[in-house]
Amino acid sequence: MAGILAWFWNERFWLPHNVTWADLKNTEEATFPQAEDLYLVFPLAFCIFMVRLLFERFIAKPCAIALNIQASGPQIAQPNAILEKVFTAITKHPDEKRLEGLSKQLDWDVRSIQRWFRQRRNQEKPSTLTRFCESMWKFSFYLYVFTYGVQFLRKSPWLWNTKHCWYNYPYQPLTNDLYYYYMLELSFYWSLMFSQFTDIKRKDFGVMFLHHLASVSLISFSYVNNMARVGTLILCLHDSADAFLEAAKMANYAKFQKMCDLLFVMFAMVFITTRLGIFPVWLLNTTLFESWEIVGPFPSWWVFNLLLFLIQGLNCFWSYLIVKVACKAIAKGKAGKWNPLHVSKDDRSDIESSSDEEDSEHTGKNSHTATTTNGTSGTNGYLLTGPCSVDD
């Protein structure tokens, strides 16, 4: 075990040439990031999760009720032992052949069986109130952490000149503000990693899990090798759009459609500008070129930049989804009604409600064009899938 740890913490991988871990030990004059500091993240992540539960119960839920957001769930499917067995043990989406077999066995018409499976799938899905509470928690956290990050960075020289991220590297002392900012962000992303398995399930679960994993890896990695200065810039930049996203969701759930539309447009503009413009031009420039010029490359430098390119790949993917939603919204607008959330069912990542599926059934075979969602005043599309930020 000692040999594995020695191999993992090899100084020639983590640190620039001629720098050792002993050089970065804490002294009375200066404090540096220590790998053992990361152990504190797990109890902090649990605490954040508990704070979230209290927040949703005692703050978000009363706000939702005050906005007349209903807590009622979807329609309950009629009890049927045979269909329940197929649903739980075989498939939740029976094909045409199985539907015909069940129709003969139960003496039901195929449409009634399809309706039963739709209702049964939606039976386990959360109410609009639950979604609102989740979004309000994320909105509150993103707004707080972004505000803190801006207040902290405006006093930091590396915000105004990114070369300060690399001057005297890695002998850059760890301040209390920087330590708090890093621990808070890292703990939050760990809490998202855990809660993603209990939160509202979406089609982009795998992409979001990859995003959270990359975020946790990037934050931890940059802390251990003391690239925390540029790390704070990356965190703050990626937090800038997330509050708009969650606010737009909240407006959508509360049926404030004009506000939702405005917030969606603001989110899209901030997201694309920061992720596809400022991030590569400003931050990737300093991590690739300014750091190469001042410090020079070393093994963990390559890994750090590789993680940044992974994040940028996810940024491009999500930007594509936003543009796709916007184009469809503009196409709808030409028909006389602008609504960036009225997108096709194929693009929805959030959970569909039972009434939505019932409505789509009555429209005939072209059910993918339905645009009514129970309690949400329009379908959600990308708006309900957003990046949790490095989302999100």
Number of other CB atoms surrounding residue 30 within 10 Å:
12
Cis peptide before 242 (omega within 30 of 0): no
Question: Between these two residues, 57 and 203, which has the higher pLDDT value?
Answer: 57
Q: What is the pLDDT of residues 20-66, one digit of tens each?
A: 999 999 999 899 999 999 999 999 999 999 999 999 999 999 999 99
Peptide bond into 387 cis (omega under 30): no
Q: List % helix, strand, coil for the chain (3-state, nearest 5).
A: 70, 0, 30
Q: Is the pLDDT of residue 380 over 60?
A: no
The pLDDT, as a whole number, for residue 195 is 85
| Percentage of residues in the chain having pLDDT higher than 90 | 65
Tens of pLDDT, residue by residue over 338-375, are 455 443 333 434 333 333 444 444 444 443 333 333 33
Mean pLDDT of the chain: 84
Q: What is the mean pLDDT of residues 13-26?
A: 94
CB distance 153 to 72 below 8 Å: no
Q: CA-to-CA distance for 382 and 392, rounded, in angstroms?
A: 13
Evaluate the CA torsion angle 81, 87, 93, 94 in order and state its sign.
Answer: negative
Tell me the C-alpha distance between 335 and 324, whole Å: 17
Side chain identity at 11, as an amino acid letter? E
- Inter-axis angle of helices 110-123 and 81-89, to 10 degrees? 60
310-349 confidence digits (pLDDT tens)? 899 989 999 999 998 888 877 776 544 445 544 333 343 4
Q: Which amino acid appears at position 42 of this protein?
A: F
Alpha-carbon distance 144 to 151, whole Å?
11
Q: Is the pTM of this model over 0.75?
A: yes
User: Encoding tokens for residue 46?
Assistant: 């649990």
Q: What is the pLDDT at residue 140? A: 97
- Of residues 3 and 60, more confidently modeled: 60
The pLDDT of residue 202 is 67
The mean per-residue pLDDT over the stretch 100-127 comes to 88
In order of 60, 248, 318, the CA distances from 264 in angstroms are 21, 6, 14
pLDDT of 166 higher than 80:
yes
pLDDT value at position 350? Answer: 39
Q: If we measure between CA atoms, which residue out of 218, 224, 254 comes closest to residue 237? A: 218
The answer to whether 102 touches 108, Cβ cutoff 8 Å, is: yes
Tens digits of per-residue pLDDT, 247-287? 999 999 999 989 998 999 999 999 999 999 999 999 999 99
